[in-house]
Chain A
């Protein structure tokens, strides 16, 4: 039996820096929203400050996304709204193609923006006057709906690459899951970085590192599947020039796992009393994880082009 090797005769779509940073910020924003929701669902009121920070950090990370996408259109930037509205004379209406991740993603980003804006405003108000705009039970239901959209936002960017005819991207079906796991890991690291000096949110620090560790296990497994699928398609050689970026991504994963292991041990030994002692680790590991999130996306995006 002849082994199937994929051959591609496509042109590069030249999705580079703007798209790379869009994927990065979309992953972090969506991951933070999911983590904020999960923290709120922990049932422990000591997680609420960290949950609010998660919803607050979503906002700037989300606002920058449409800016990057619009900038990527170059001289056609003013036609960004054509993605959502068909202006063909005699056939005007809304543009929505369920089979196109780009089309669904644009609408998803709009819906996600609504959830992020409400949740961030609610968190900001809660911090100022100890009560948000939405009663907590309703807020939790709202957060769950927002988290579902967030999961889509974090993962569709990978599916968008997969649903193409480009080498590497279309040779694997794993990118959606990989970007989701990586985005969650990155946002856990970002939140840990932000709360490390906040006494009111310190309780959640170890728990965030622990979650980051779990997400990193998922990410590592999906990286392995990525290389297996791309290798089976015969396009693995395209990854060779980008091995330094893959090394940074794997270093981020390794850092997460080491930090999570430390916090698990600390938890077994008696809780969060020694949190102050791991602040330096948090800075180093979180920065490494965030660099890894960026490097992973860069390695995937650039290896096809």
Chain B
């Protein structure tokens, strides 16, 4: 149960998690979990008048996206690309986007920047461990027994 520590906000590379000041808990889109339980699609997909937001089985959406991308490329829109469709970003996303520019233009991390926070676990602790060894040696040198005082 969320206790409002906000570690998830520090970690989320898409900035989609926010803190509710009234409840003190973290919130983000759940794809309308309550509607899904009732066999309905998320409200955003239902309401979208231009079909820009689509919801459905992943394989079907991927197929539709591939067809759409091929059509755009054939029309000369060579800059069109699918974000999250392949495994370049976090091994592939279950929500993907048709972009007409670089991902970072849309506030999405590109493949180089799509990294997990845990990438720094080893480096962070290793630096601390090396520092600890050097600091303990320094302390022992400073406090070594002396005959005078």
Chain B 116-129 interface mask (CB, 8 Å, partner A; 1/0): 01101101111110
How many chain B residues touch the partner (CB < 8 A)? 57
Knowing A76-B4, A173-B127 are in contact, say whether A38-B136 is a contact too (CB < 8 A): yes
Contacts of A47 in B (CB 8 A): 143
At the interface with chain A, which of B12-20, B38-46, B71-79? B12-20
A214 touches B142 (CB 8 A): yes
Using a CB–CB cutoff of 8 Å, the interface residues on chain B facing chain A are 1-7, 9-15, 17-19, 21-25, 104, 107-110, 112-113, 115, 117-118, 120-121, 123-128, 130-132, 134-136, 138-146, 148-149
* B117 CB contact (under 8 Å) in A75, A76, A170: A170
B135 touches A180 (CB 8 A): yes
Give bound CA distance, A83 to B131, whole Å.
Answer: 28
Contacts of B115 in A (CB 8 A): 165, 170
* B18 CB contact (under 8 Å) in A11, A15, A214, A272: A11
Tell me if A177 counts as interface (CB < 8 A to partner B): yes
Knowing A79-B1, A163-B124, A173-B127 are in contact, say whether A184-B117 is a contact too (CB < 8 A): no
Instruction: Tell me how many residue pairs across A and B have CB atoms closer than 8 Å.
Output: 193
Contacts of B13 in A (CB 8 A): 8-10, 165
Tell me if A74 counts as interface (CB < 8 A to partner B): yes
Closest chain A CB from B137 CB (angstroms): 9
Knowing A13-B7, A203-B149 are in contact, say whether A4-B112 is a contact too (CB < 8 A): yes
A–B Cβ pairs within 8 angstroms, 24 of them? A10-B9, A10-B10, A11-B15, A13-B9, A38-B139, A42-B145, A44-B149, A46-B149, A47-B143, A72-B5, A73-B3, A76-B2, A83-B3, A100-B7, A162-B124, A164-B7, A166-B10, A170-B117, A176-B124, A178-B131, A181-B135, A214-B139, A217-B138, A272-B149
Contacts of A272 in B (CB 8 A): 149
Q: Which of A138-193 contact B (CB under 8 A)?
A: 151, 155-156, 158-159, 162-166, 169-170, 173-178, 180-181, 184
Q: Which residue of chain B has its CB nearest to the CB of A89?
A: B1
Tell me if A215 counts as interface (CB < 8 A to partner B): yes
Give bound CA distance, A259 to B43, whole Å.
Answer: 66
Q: Which residue of chain A has its CB nearest to the CB of B140?
A: A38
Tell me if A135 counts as interface (CB < 8 A to partner B): no
B128 touches A159 (CB 8 A): yes
Closest chain B CB from A9 CB (angstroms): 5
Closest chain B CB from A239 CB (angstroms): 18
A174 touches B127 (CB 8 A): yes
Q: Which residue of chain A has its CB nearest to the CB of B7?
A: A102
B149 touches A184 (CB 8 A): no
Contacts of A99 in B (CB 8 A): 118, 121
Give bound CA distance, A72 to B145, whole Å.
Answer: 44
Contacts of B117 in A (CB 8 A): 163-165, 170
Give bound CA distance, A253 to B132, whole Å.
Answer: 18
Knowing A41-B143, A162-B123 are in contact, say whether A73-B9 is a contact too (CB < 8 A): no
Contacts of A73 in B (CB 8 A): 3-5, 24
